[in-house]
């Protein structure tokens, strides 16, 4: 297995070299339970344990699916995870930008996936279709510094797929929005293009949306179990029960997740304020009150990035979200009919809450 296809690069190698005296191997977590982990290495997939010492080290979070770790492999002994390399992005409650603070173990365990490049939000065009829910998933992605893409699946079951796609594009004009049928080769090829070698995608969306079906299409076989949605409610059956990272033949890696319940999604809003609240705080110390935190002199936000107190990814994600909101507000102010619509309501409400202190 070539680690480069899994996303390994020079910067990761340097991070590992900063602790390693040559005895540790790089590995990527593909499955995580309380005790046992499955990891991908150059030699293939292995089981590994997390020794107590690593677990108690507050600076090193509990390994999550997608994490790069330092693995100790000794002949005839169990493989041990020694360190978790600092995350670039985090999907879930505990945020990468917070890593300076010591976090309680419970909070550290809320990470759904680490080091994800693109969060693929899957929404069925059947009874699953729900723009409000898509917004929540977008919030979750942005909050973790992850670029989202939206796939409207089951186009074969929908007569106005294009109309719905337009509606979703209006929610997030800077985000990729595609319609597909996961049962169709053309749809699968389109998704394949989103996950070239070296790139990491994470599938998000409610149960029954077709996440595992899409992944099976990419894997070229029945790799993940899928199940029909309930005939009475149209809802999925929570078929996928744990998060898992798979290597796409000839492509990058993809993480399948179980459909989230609404409660978990609200965590996305918490994540947003965790991610951007610190930027809002820093912004109070910028020289100019209308600072855009891009090129201005005396910008406290850029200064924090320079000094390593704020992730550059995080700021980039903040700018992307800002663009989406600016677009949305422009649309609202020019078309009164749209003011009623509560698109972006949850995101805007949260952003307003973050800025209230200014």
In the bound state with ligand GTP, the residue whose beta carbon lies nearer, of 156 and 281, is 156
Residues in CB range of 103: below 8 A, 6 or more apart: 58, 61, 94
Separation of alpha carbons 329 and 352, rounded Å: 13
The answer to the question of residue 211 lying near ligand GTP (CB under 6 A) is yes
The answer to the question of residue 317 lying near Mg ion (CB under 5 A) is no
In the bound state with ligand GTP, the residue whose beta carbon lies nearer, of 225 and 323, is 225
Hey, which residues between 273 and 332 contact Zn ion (CB under 5 A)? 286, 291, 293, 299, 301
Count of positions (residues) in the chain: 358
Separation of alpha carbons 148 and 308, rounded Å: 25
Q: Give the nearest distance from C-beta 155 to ligand GTP in angstroms.
A: 7
Binding site partner of 182, from Mg ion, Zn ion, ligand GTP, none, Cβ cut-off 5-8 A by kind: ligand GTP
Partners of 176 in beta bridges: 149
Separation of alpha carbons 109 and 331, rounded Å: 39
**How much of the chain is helix, strand and coil, in % rounded to 5?**
40, 20, 45
Q: Give the nearest distance from C-beta 6 to Mg ion in angstroms.
A: 22
The answer to the question of residue 231 lying near ligand GTP (CB under 6 A) is no
In the bound state with Mg ion, the residue whose beta carbon lies nearer, of 229 and 239, is 239
What beta strand segments (E) does 104-231 contain? 111-114, 118-124, 147-153, 176-179, 200-204
Q: Give the nearest distance from C-beta 119 to ligand GTP in angstroms.
A: 14
From the list 63, 210, 251, 252, which residue makes contact with ligand GTP (rule: CB under 6 A)?
210
In the bound state with ligand GTP, the residue whose beta carbon lies nearer, of 192 and 328, is 192
What is the CB-side half-sphere exposure of residue 52 using CA atoms within 13 A?
0
From the list 179, 240, 317, 346, which residue makes contact with ligand GTP (rule: CB under 6 A)?
240
Query: CA–CA distance from 299 to each of 127, 263, 357 (Å)?
Result: 47, 36, 19
From the list 144, 208, 251, 268, which residue makes contact with ligand GTP (rule: CB under 6 A)?
208
Judged by the rule CB under 5 A, the positions of this chain that interact with Zn ion are 286, 291, 293, 299, 301
Judged by the rule CB under 5 A, the positions of this chain that interact with Mg ion are 211-212, 239-240
């Amino acid at each position: 297995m070539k680690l480069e296809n899994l996303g390994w690069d020079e910067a990761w190698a340097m991070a590992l070299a900063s602790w390693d005296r040559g005895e540790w191997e790089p590995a990527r977590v593909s499955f995580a339970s309380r005790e046992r982990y499955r990891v991908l290495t150059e030699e293939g997939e292995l089981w590994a344990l997390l020794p107590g010492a690593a677990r108690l080290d507050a600076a090193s979070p509990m390994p999550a699916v997608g994490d790069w770790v330092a693995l100790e492999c000794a002949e005839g002994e169990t493989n041990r995870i020694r360190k978790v390399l600092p995350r670039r992005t985090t999907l879930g409650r505990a945020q990468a930008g917070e890593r300076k603070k010591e976090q309680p173990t419970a909070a550290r365990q809320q990470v759904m996936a680490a080091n994800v490049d693109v969060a693929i939000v899957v929404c069925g065009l059947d009874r699953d279709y729900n723009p409000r829910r898509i917004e929540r998933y977008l919030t979750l992605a942005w909050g973790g510094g992850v670029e989202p893409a939206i796939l409207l699946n089951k186009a074969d079951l929908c007569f106005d797929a294009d109309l719905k796609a337009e509606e979703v594009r209006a929610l997030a004009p800077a985000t990729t929005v595609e319609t597909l049928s996961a049962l169709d080769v053309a749809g699968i090829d389109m998704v394949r293009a989103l996950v070239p070698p070296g790139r990491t995608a994470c599938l998000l969306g409610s149960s029954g949306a077709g996440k595992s079906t899409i992944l099976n299409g990419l894997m070229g076989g029945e790799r993940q179990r899928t199940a029909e949605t309930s005939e009475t409610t149209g809802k999925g059956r929570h078929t996928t029960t744990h998060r898992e990272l798979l290597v796409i033949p000839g492509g990058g890696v993809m993480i399948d997740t179980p459909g989230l319940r609404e409660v978990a999604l609200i965590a996305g809003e918490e994540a947003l304020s965790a991610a951007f609240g610190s930027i809002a705080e820093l912004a109070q110390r910028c020289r100019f009150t209308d600072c855009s935190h891009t090129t201005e002199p005396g910008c406290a936000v850029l200064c924090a990035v320079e000094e390593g107190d704020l992730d550059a990814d995080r700021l980039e994600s903040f700018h992307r979200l800002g663009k989406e909101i600016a677009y949305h507000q422009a649309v609202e102010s020019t078309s009164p009919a749209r003011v009623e619509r509560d698109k972006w309501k949850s995101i805007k409400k949260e952003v307003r809450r973050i800025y209230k202190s200014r």
